[in-house]
Amino acid sequence: MPDHPFGKSIPRKEGRKKVTGEALYVDDLSFNGMIHGVTVRSPVARGKIKNILFEGDLPWDEFTIVTAKDIPGGNFVALILNDQPYLAAEMVNHPEEPVVLLAHESKYLLEEARRNVCIEIDELPAVYSLEDSLARQTVIWGEDNIFKKFLVDKGNVDDVWSNAHLIVEGEYRTGAQEQLYIENNGAIAIANKKDGVTVWGSMQCPYYIHKALVKLFDLTEDRIRVIQTETGGGFGGKEEYPSMIAGHAALLAWKSGKPVKMVYDRAEDMVATTKRHPSRTRHKTAVSADGKLLAMEIEFIIDGGAYCTLSPVVLSRGTIHAAGPYYCPNVRIKSQAVATNVPPQGAFRGFGAPQSIFALERHLDKVARQLGLTAEEFRRRNFIHEGETTATSQEIRERVDMEGLLNKALELTDYHAKTRRFAAERAGRVRRGIGFASFMHGAGFTGSGEVYLQSVVGAEATADGRVQLLAASTEIGQGTNTIFSQIASEALGIDFDLIEVLQPDTSKVPNSGPTVASRTAMVVGKLVESAVRGLKQTLIGSGLLADNYSSSDFRKACGEYIARFGSLKTSATYQPPPNVHWDDEKYQGDAYGAYAWAVYVAQVAFDEMTYEAHVEDFVALQEVGRVINPVLAAGQIEGGVAQAIGFTLFENVVWKDGRMINNQMTNYIIPTPADIPPIRVYFQENPYAYGPGGAKGIGELPMDGAAPAILNALENATGLSFNEVPLLPEKMMEGTLAQS
Amino acid sequence: MGSLQTIQFIVNGKSEKRELFPMARLLDVLREELKLTGTKEGCGEGECGACTVLIDGQIVNSCLVPVAQVEGTTITTIEGIAHENDLHAVQQAFIEHGGAQCGICTPGMVLAAINLLERSPNPNENEIRTGLAGNLCRCTGYMKIFESILKACQLNR
């Protein structure tokens, strides 16, 4: 192992068991006497439950049957507003809402049984779109269908309109998107009065489930235990949803007295679980004659589905990112998350930012065109610099060089030469174009979020001198195990292989917060660094370790310390960076501790015969502080860009009466190996003072830029303006015919 | 499901003779009867390739194969690829070059890659794309998988 593992492409810590098939995911586990569970769901979008009938020639007395009446504690999924029931009791508010749970040892009989439960419902009028929700002709949630509203108000946009050289307006839309982790949601539970509740499952956030189960069973915290099994992808889809399936498995286990496994098949996972919030954004932008932004008024609306889940937080991130990495003295952003009778939308990589950044980066190309400036020149005149303020009046105190990123990205793609060449070649069936998007993504929880979380990481040395890291942050493919080990190994100056990351288990690890919000490397990684430094200081302070030591000195000192004092443990608790202030009321202040900055460039070919758009080349250039592990970091970017290409050109959720009707991988299309262009990833490094070894967050960033870059490139290729994703060939055909 | 039938086949070099429902999915027989859980279920309809296995050297989605069809065949699953501590060059390359992230598509992807290299020992990138087109990955964006396979070819040489 290298002496300094930080910044090196050390192979993934759990790589071997993943390539040999030894890694155990939740569906690979089995317990003695384990039975299976399924969910019976609402057939309609909204209505009053009249009756539940158990029909057919089935041995119903062999089944464990759970309804809302069987819930020992509170019938709600504890999250933000606690409005979502575990099992609908009187009302259903979306198609596929859980109503009854069944368990039996035979999976085949269970499927028969599921089909023979008849839920009789008196249907009520339902709301299926953001527009209908805003119209409020039918109120389906609270008094006004609104989960949350924000107002960001900087300067005064109203003073600007009358004197502006040019005002440009536009409307932009994004669709729902399925996370489509390849491992479906699943959980196994053992639950009884004697032992409490233990759940194993595929998840991002063990302590979210822990909190939810405490309320569901009305048990004390020490009687609930949540263990993460190897997790086959999350992307946000396993942030809040696992609290639901874990609770369901636990309710069946509680009533049956047996271990219960609940694993969705793909159709159920797609039709019933959360997706990316659909959005509508309206921009009104005032610019001066010399191309400076004077005022930006932005209305950002997201469709939250039937229950609140995480919509307020998704809305918050989307709102804060809506004005992008530009300086504008007057900005007003009004945003709302509204209710509809579709399954609740939830977390998905980017968390609102891909939606609002799509709108902004499409809109700025339009403003530039109307001003008679190139897309790049207009942005150059407005990029934010150190000392200037964002929409929330956050003064940027780190070095930021958007112009340098833009120059480099355009150079890497031969942008200027290609722009000229594609314009000259614009004849025949295939038209080529090139476009870009410039953007930023805040790392960590928004505003005061990290302060409220008060995350903790522990570190413990063993007598043979190994160091165990104790955190609830999950490895979901993004490399948590490996980068935590690199950070710890670097901070301690000992071999990488001496570091072990404990499996997240709420009975053993402290709450280091959820594995979301691009916070694991930057925020939790910093706590790992602090916690292991505590070990080192303790050993040096005890006189058992000299200042200059080798791995074997360290191991020996651990052994001696433990022999003398019993154990060697430390922990670190989150401390905010200095001078961070956030006003939750006014939505002004330091929204994020740090931002990653990026410029992405797409080259597309548009086939005028088939209306297909194909991405031919993609460059992703970003500044993410110091890169901890180049191969893993590039893997994050490439994977995120591929998901974003899917979001832009392939992935279309087809709705009918509030239900996804293409809930199969056969007709909900994600990119295959044949569809993805070369994704060329570049990093510029600018160490962040408060990240471990200078690192910032990275995970969500790559989801943000591809959609606007691709549609900007398509406009460059065709002269046609498309302002909605997903943009499938049929939509392009309609648009082409309408615009020509 | 019909009545039980005796079905014989070889899995990873070991003879198996089992009483099975002939229409049981090979995927379920491997995972539940033989406890070979390295073969994963992603979609259950032959789209994602997480359940990829080799039957007589042919690459198949085991979720689409009734077990009656494997009578007398030789099956290789991910568990049959490494020999003791010796990983296959493809497995080694996936570890070193970032070919696996969450790992759930990895067993199928590794088998598809090995099958491709048996048919075409030095594939170009287009052949790799086509060879893997039946296996979906949501984490990597495929770049590191392509690179792993190219690197595995070099290791093989």
* Residue A20 contacts B where some CB pair is shorter than 8 Å: yes
Mean model confidence pLDDT for chain A: 97
The pLDDT of residue A2 is 47
C-alpha A326/C-alpha A330 separation (Å) is 11
Contact A20 B79 (CB under 8 A): yes
Chain B CB contacts of A229 below 8 Å: none
Per-residue pLDDT tens digits for A5-19: 999 999 999 999 999
Residue tagged 């995350």 (tokens): A455
- CA distances, A50 to each of A99, A491, A525 (Å): 12, 62, 52
The pLDDT of residue A199 is 98
Band of residue A3 on the pLDDT scale cut at 50, 70, 90: confident
Token digits for A721?
């303006």
Token digits for B28?
């379920």
Band of residue A522 on the pLDDT scale cut at 50, 70, 90: very high
Residue tagged 């939790």 (tokens): A524
Which of A 382-421 lie inside 8 A of B, CB atoms?
A: none
The C-alpha of A618 sits at a distance from chain B's nearest C-alpha, in angstroms, of 12
Q: Is the ipTM of this complex over 0.95?
A: yes
The pLDDT of residue B115 is 98
**A80 exposure class (CB count in 10 Å sphere: 0-12, 13-18, 19+):** middle
The pLDDT of residue B1 is 53
Band of residue B104 on the pLDDT scale cut at 50, 70, 90: very high
How many CB atoms lie under 10 A from the CB of residue A541? 9
The pLDDT of residue A740 is 78
C-alpha A563/C-alpha A560 separation (Å) is 5
Q: For residue A356, what is the DSSP state?
A: H
Residues 6 or more apart in contact with residue A176 via CB below 8 angstroms: A275, A276, A277, A278, A303, A345, A653, A655, A660
Q: Residue A428 pLDDT > 90, yes or no?
A: no
Q: Residue A172 pLDDT > 60, yes or no?
A: yes
Region A437-460 average pLDDT: 96
List the single residue in A with minimal CA-CA distance to B84: A20
Band of residue A275 on the pLDDT scale cut at 50, 70, 90: very high
Region A94-113 average pLDDT: 97
Which of A 643-662 lie inside 8 A of B, CB atoms?
A: 643
Per-residue pLDDT tens digits for A331-376: 999 999 999 999 999 999 999 999 999 999 999 999 999 999 999 9
> Helix crossing, B106-119 with B89-96: angle to 10°?
130
C-alpha A282/C-alpha A450 separation (Å) is 31
Q: Are A279 and A338 in contact (CB under 8 A)?
A: no
Contact B98 A635 (CB under 8 A): yes
Contact B128 A631 (CB under 8 A): no
Nearest by CB: B102 against A231, A672, A679: A231
- Three-class secondary structure of residue B131 per DSSP: helix
The C-alpha of A20 sits at a distance from chain B's nearest C-alpha, in angstroms, of 6
pLDDT above 70 covers a percentage of chain A that reads 100
Contact B102 A639 (CB under 8 A): no
Region B16-45 average pLDDT: 98
Q: Residue A1 pLDDT > 80, yes or no?
A: no
The pLDDT of residue B157 is 62
* Residue A617 contacts B where some CB pair is shorter than 8 Å: no
Token digits for A78?
């504890």
Contact B43 A664 (CB under 8 A): yes
Nearest by CB: A15 against B100, B104, B132: B100
Band of residue A426 on the pLDDT scale cut at 50, 70, 90: confident
Number of A/B CB contacts below 8 angstroms equals 168
Mean model confidence pLDDT for chain B: 96
Which of B 92-151 lie inside 8 A of A, CB atoms?
A: 94-107, 110, 128-130, 132-133, 135-146
Per-residue pLDDT tens digits for A471-490: 999 999 999 999 999 999 99
Chain A CB contacts of B137 below 8 Å: 182, 673
Taking Cα atoms as reference points, which of A101, A83, A88, A128 lies closest to residue A38?
Answer: A101
The pLDDT of residue A739 is 84
Q: Residue B102 pLDDT > 80, yes or no?
A: yes
List the single residue in A with minimal CA-CA distance to B89: A19
The pLDDT of residue A27 is 98
Nearest by CB: A674 against B79, B97, B129: B129
Per-residue pLDDT tens digits for A375-419: 999 999 999 999 999 999 999 999 999 999 999 999 999 999 999
